[in-house]
Amino acid sequence: MIMKKLTMLALAAVFSASAFAQDVYKQISKIKDYKEAYNLLQANLGSLSAEEKAKCYNALVDLALDKVAKEQGTITSNQMAEQLKTKVEPYDTVGLYDAVMQALENGVACDEFDMQPNEKGKVKPKFHKSNGDRLYPIRFHLVNAGIYYQTSNPELSYKYLATYVESADYPLFKEQDKSKDPYLTQMAYYAARDAYFAKDYAKAEKYADVAMQDTAMSKDALQLKLAIMQNQLKTHEDTLNYVAKLKDIYAKDENNDVVFSTICSMLISISDKAGLNEIVQAKLAKDPNNFTALAMQGQAYMSDSKWDDAISSFNKAATAQPDNVAILASVGNCYMYKAQETAEKALANGKTLTPDAEKEIVGIYEQAIGYLEKAKDLDKTMQFKSFWAYSLYTCCYRALGPDDAKTKEAEALTK
User: What is the Cα 63 distance to its own chain's centre?
Assistant: 35
Query: What is the pLDDT, as a whole number, of residue 23?
Result: 82
pTM reported for the whole predicted model: 0.74
Yes or no: say if 316 and 369 are a contact pair by the CB < 8 Å rule: no
Compute the Cα dihedral for 366, 372, 378, 380 and give only its sign: negative
Query: What is the pLDDT, as a whole number, of residue 22?
Result: 62
Yes or no: say if 32 and 70 are a contact pair by the CB < 8 Å rule: no
Query: DSSP letters along 229-253, please?
Result: HHTT--SHHHHHHHHHHHHHHHHH-
d(CA 64, CA 68): 6
Yes or no: say if 279 and 246 are a contact pair by the CB < 8 Å rule: no
Query: What is the pLDDT, as a whole number, of residue 17?
Result: 44
Query: What is the pLDDT, as a whole number, of residue 16?
Result: 42
Yes or no: say if 299 and 276 are a contact pair by the CB < 8 Å rule: no
Query: DSSP letters along 379-391, please?
Result: -TT-TTHHHHHHH
Full pLDDT tens readout for the chain, 415 residues? 544 544 444 443 443 444 445 688 999 989 999 999 999 999 999 989 999 999 999 999 999 999 999 999 988 888 888 888 888 788 899 999 999 999 999 999 999 999 999 888 889 999 999 999 999 999 999 999 999 999 999 999 999 999 999 999 999 999 999 887 889 999 999 999 999 999 999 999 999 999 999 989 998 999 999 999 999 999 999 999 999 999 999 999 998 988 999 999 899 888 899 999 999 999 999 999 999 999 999 998 998 999 999 999 999 999 999 999 999 999 999 999 999 999 999 999 888 999 999 999 999 999 999 999 999 999 999 999 999 999 999 999 999 999 999 999 999 999 8
CA distances from 105 to 54, 100, 116 (A): 13, 9, 18
